[in-house]
Structure 1
Amino acid sequence: MQLSRFTDYSLRVLFYVAMNPDRLATLSEIAHFYDISLEHLRKVVHALGKSGHLETYRGKKGGIRLALEPEAINLGALIAQTEGTSPLVDCHRSPCRLASNCSLQSVLAEAQRAFFDSLSQYTLADLLSNQPMRERLIAVEEL
């Protein structure tokens, strides 16, 4: 299983703004820091704002910041939201001759549940406890 670019960028945005809680971060500075597309970030930030993870402010003095404490952002819930929880294999959408006798779908569903259950044990705060990562994100202000 591979996470989408959308999920990757969602996590990066949350890391960045969580480590800079005393100010509003801008899309352009986040795009510059990670060297990623501003247009992709717009979509990501819009979705994170709609989901209640970010507060967004428009205008010349605008920017973004976390709407929740890092301890309240559960990774399993966030990734389920950004990736979706559709079955990894949907035997009914594209009919398969083996569908009625195959156990692949149930095995993959079990694996997917385990994946989300594992991620649900962690919050954004847990990831930010990595000191080298914190130092790199805090050094942003020096750029």
Structure 2
Amino acid sequence: MRLTLHTDYALRALIFLTWTTDRLASIREIATTYGISENHLVKIVHKLGQQGFIETVRGRNGGIRLARDACMICVGDVVRVTEEGLGSVSGAEKKSHAEEESSRTVPHSRFQSVVNRALVAFMAVLDDTRLSDLIFDEQRQMLGVMTSPRARCAKPDDDRCASTPAS
């Protein structure tokens, strides 16, 4: 499974916000830290705000922050929100010429079943991962960002994330 830069940048922004829980962060600050286009990051932050992962504060002293603790943000939920077409492989999709040629040698329904099982396993790992699990001391030191005392916390009693995006 290959994730897009959109997802990578969304996770980077969320990770950055775990280190700045004592204050509001700016999009410019995150973009500069990671070398990301501010315009692209604005779109990502907007989507993360709509889905309840972050809170945005407008105005002169505004900025962004996590909407909840990092241990309550499921990586699988973030990926579902930021990745398009993450659903199961559909037999009804239009096939390319190469796919049509390969379907003559490998039955499509068998291939579809294997890919769907792989996708379920992939998402199960992401669903078992919280944002707080992605924080590493080396990254904190490299970025020179203060670490939140709440950045690492125990997983909630319910180890499973919601199967739908955060609201």
Question: TM over 0.5: same fold?
Answer: yes
- Is 1:110 equivalent to 2:117 in the alignment? yes
Alpha-carbon distance in structure 1 between the residues aligned to 2:112 and 2:77: 22
Q: Which residue of 2 aligns with 1:132?
A: 138
Q: Which residue of 1 aligns with 2:87?
A: 86
CA offsets 1:62-86 (integer angstroms, 9 cap, x no match): 1000001000001112112211422
Q: Which residue of 1 aligns with 2:74?
A: 74
**Shift in Å, 1:22:** 0.5
Q: Which residue of 1 aligns with 2:47?
A: 47
Q: TM-score, normalised by structure 1?
A: 0.87
- Is 1:123 equivalent to 2:130 in the alignment? yes
Alpha-carbon distance in structure 1 between the residues aligned to 2:44 and 2:115: 28
CA offsets 1:100-129 (integer angstroms, 9 cap, x no match): x4211111000000000011111011111x
Alpha-carbon distance in structure 2 between the residues aligned to 1:14 and 1:31: 12
Alpha-carbon distance in structure 1 between the residues aligned to 2:73 and 2:145: 22
Counterpart residue identity of residue 38, structure 1: E
**Shift in Å, 1:133:** 1.9
Counterpart residue identity of residue 87, structure 2: S
SS in 2 for 1:25: coil
Alpha-carbon distance in structure 1 between the residues aligned to 2:10 and 2:70: 14
SS in 1 for 2:65: strand
Given that residues 16 and 30 in structure 2 are in contact (C-alpha distance below 8 angstroms), is that contact kept between their aligned partners in structure 1? yes
Larger RCO, structures 1/2 (Cα 8 Å, 6+ apart): 2
Counterpart residue identity of residue 46, structure 1: H
Given that residues 19 and 145 in structure 2 are in contact (C-alpha distance below 8 angstroms), is that contact kept between their aligned partners in structure 1? no
Q: TM-score, normalised by structure 2?
A: 0.75
Alpha-carbon distance in structure 2 between the residues aligned to 1:4 and 1:59: 31
Identity between Structure 1 and Structure 2 (%): 39
Q: Please, which runs of 5 or more residues in structure 2 have no aligned partner?
A: 147-167
Q: Which residue of 1 aligns with 2:28?
A: 28
**Shift in Å, 1:140:** 3.6
Comparing both structures, which one devotes a greater share of its residues to helix? 1
**Shift in Å, 1:90:** 3.2
Given that residues 33 and 140 in structure 1 are in contact (C-alpha distance below 8 angstroms), is that contact kept between their aligned partners in structure 2? no
CA RMSD of aligned residues (A): 2.0
Q: Please, which runs of 5 or more residues in structure 1 have no aligned partner?
A: none
